[in-house]
Structure 1
Amino acid sequence: MAKKAQDYRQLDDARLDHEINEAYRALFTLRFQHASRQLENYRALREARRTIARLRTIKRERQLAALAEQEKAHG
């Protein structure tokens, strides 16, 4: 079962980067299976893309929060 965004938000930055890399690997594998007509669950492609988007969104939220903290500290 796919994890929820709140589950991913509990991860530290290194683990989040690792999850992003693993999600891209999974998507690559699914695309390869799709191209070779071995993919049985086509919904998995959509889920993989959404997982990547979810992870990247959380990473971007953290980047923006860090920038806001820097601006607060400097100004």
Structure 2
Amino acid sequence: MAFPKMSEIQELDDTRLSEAILALKKELFQLRFRQATRQPVKAHEFRHARHKLAQLLTLEHQRRQNHGG
């Protein structure tokens, strides 16, 4: 699974962007929970989730800066 491209993420509207951020935060929580309870977790899942979350948060921040909010 390759990292998502910013061009794909920029197509999201503000509502879907917020939903995607929330979903990724929940996914990261679930991964940490599985790891803490010694359930099998693949390390690359953390990396991919954090990378995509960073991209989404960057896009959200840029949009807020451009809209004066």
Q: With structure 1 as the length reference, what TM-score do the two structures score?
A: 0.80
Unpaired runs of at least 5, structure 2: none
Q: Higher RCO, 1 or 2 (CA under 8 Å, sep at least 6)?
A: 2
Higher helix share: 1
Q: Displacement of 1:33 after TM fit?
A: 0.8
User: Is 1:36 paired with 2:37?
Assistant: yes
Per the alignment, residue 25 of structure 1 pairs with 26
Q: Is contact 2:24-2:49 (8 Å) kept?
A: yes
Count residues in correspondence.
68
Per the alignment, residue 17 of structure 2 pairs with 16
Unpaired runs of at least 5, structure 1: 71-75
CA–CA distance in structure 2, aligned partners of residues 16 and 53 of structure 1: 12
User: Which amino acid in the other structure matches residue 63 of structure 1?
Assistant: R
Q: Displacement of 1:25 after TM fit?
A: 0.6
| Displaced runs of 4 or more, over 6 A | none
C-alpha root-mean-square deviation of aligned residues, in Å? Answer: 1.6
Share of identical aligned residues, percent? 34
User: Which amino acid in the other structure matches residue 45 of structure 1?
Assistant: F
Q: With structure 2 as the length reference, what TM-score do the two structures score?
A: 0.86
Quick check: which has more Rg, 1 or 2? 1
